[in-house]
Amino acid sequence: MNKLKLVLLTSDDSYADYFSNFMLNPDNNNRFSTKIFTNKDSFNQMMRNQKQHILLTDYNLEDIDVSVFEKTIILRDKDEYIPEDVPNILKYQPIKNLLDKVLAIFYEENGNLQLLSNEGDTGSYVISFYGGSSGVGKTLSSLCLARHLSIKDKRVFYLNLETVHTTLLYFKEEKESSAEVFYYVKNNKDKLLSKIEFLKSRDDLTGIDYFALPVNPEEMDIFTGEDLEVLIQALKATKDYDFIIIDLDSTLHERNTRALEISDEVFWLLSSDEASFSRSKYILESNTACENLDRAKIHFVINKMGTDVFNGFDRFNFSIEDRLPFNEHFLLQSEETKLHEDTVIGERLFRLMKSLVKEDTEVSSVGN
């Protein structure tokens, strides 16, 4: 995954140590390649002819060479005056907040999505959950997989694109609305990347990032496949995520078919009844919108499985990869509790796509 090259030049040794300790966090190591200097002469010598993305400094700009940086940001003290046209942020604040603002400033001018998309593979896998009929458990299943990946220290963004979604049943903390994301996707794409840092929310219990979108069927109806591509491209360009999980409803909206096409893998959930199989078969074989869908990346999974599937299910020729059991205990539980108590769904779905996940214990046989 490409990293942003971030350089800190400060005359404050204690601040340099504070900043360095925070950047040792694995999440920051995945996002930034960081260099820290406390001496301007060493800085000028080491940075010569080395193209960098961002410089953070509390030095006078007349004393240092900033020509190799795409963006220079001044670290200011609370009462220090900095001209409005000079990018600057308050020096003494939580480093996480500082980095969010740094990214917003950088992407404000340097966040052209087309240019960023040409920088190479961002390393983000896109996984969609779909089903031919409603009520097959897509939302819970997708979130169980997201939680399982998060437990394995994978960085996950959950994107619910259902016309009427139930995200807030699972993430109940009060969050700022992310409704503005629709505006930036449709009307101000150049600002979208810089706004994601402020529009996204994180569920502290699962470590999953998401948009706290209001339930707005009218907005979702006009959210197109092209809009979806813009949003996914922006999420990838943040370089923050190993996995982007898309939760789709069962409609034939072109937004859904486009999501299926651009996904690296698709979990297609079925109920263990004939109607669910029949509707899925019709969508795949009779819907022209699915003509470009690579069937090889689909995992057909029967969810909430009872004692058996209906007689003759095999005539539909779905290659069923797993049958997730029905959990009677869940009947009396809230959706939030189901997510946090799951020990089966996330693990079993993870096994199906495990070939995409490079485990630390995996040893390459190349050269052996």
- Which residue among 110, 134, 149 closes a domain? 110
Residue 93 sits in the same domain as residue 68: yes
Integer CA distances (angstroms), 47 to 30, 192, 303, in order: 22, 31, 56
pLDDT digits over 242-291, tens only? 999 999 999 889 899 999 999 999 999 999 999 999 999 988 887 666 77
Q: What distance in Å separates the CA atoms of residue 344 and residue 326, rounded to the nearest whole number?
A: 11
Report the pLDDT averaged over residues 131-138.
90
Q: What is the pLDDT of residue 130?
A: 96
pLDDT digits over 167-191, tens only? 989 998 777 788 899 898 988 887 8
What is the span of the domain harbouring residue 57? 4-110
Residue 317 sits in the same domain as residue 168: yes
Cβ atoms of 91 and 105 within 8 Å: the answer is no
262: exposed, middle or buried (Cβ count in 10 Å: 0-12, 13-18, 19+): middle
Residue 234 sits in the same domain as residue 195: yes
Residue 145 sits in the same domain as residue 292: yes
Instruction: Band the pLDDT of 368: cuts 50, 70, 90.
Output: very low
Q: Specify the residue for token string 């999440």.
A: 27
Instruction: Band the pLDDT of 355: cuts 50, 70, 90.
Output: low
- Which residue among 110, 133, 166 closes a domain? 110
Residue 30 lies in a domain: yes
Integer CA distances (angstroms), 181 to 71, 195, 198, 231, 259, in order: 25, 8, 10, 9, 18
Instruction: Band the pLDDT of 361: cuts 50, 70, 90.
Output: very low
pLDDT digits over 87-126, tens only? 999 999 998 889 888 887 887 766 555 544 445 455 789 9
Q: Specify the residue for token string 């504070």.
A: 18
Strands 243-247 and 125-131: parallel
Residue 151 sits in the same domain as residue 209: yes
pLDDT digits over 225-235, tens only? 999 999 999 99
Cβ atoms of 339 and 142 within 8 Å: the answer is no
Domain count, the chain: 2
**How many CB atoms lie under 10 A from the CB of residue 20?**
12
Residue 99 sits in the same domain as residue 140: no
Residue 59 sits in the same domain as residue 154: no
Residue 120 lies in a domain: no
pLDDT of 297 strictly over 90: yes
Cβ atoms of 93 and 44 within 8 Å: the answer is no
Grouping H, G, I as helix, E, B as strand and the rest as coil, residue 143 is helix
The alpha carbon of residue 29 and the mean position of all alpha carbons in its chain are separated, in whole angstroms, by 17
Residue 132 sits in the same domain as residue 93: no
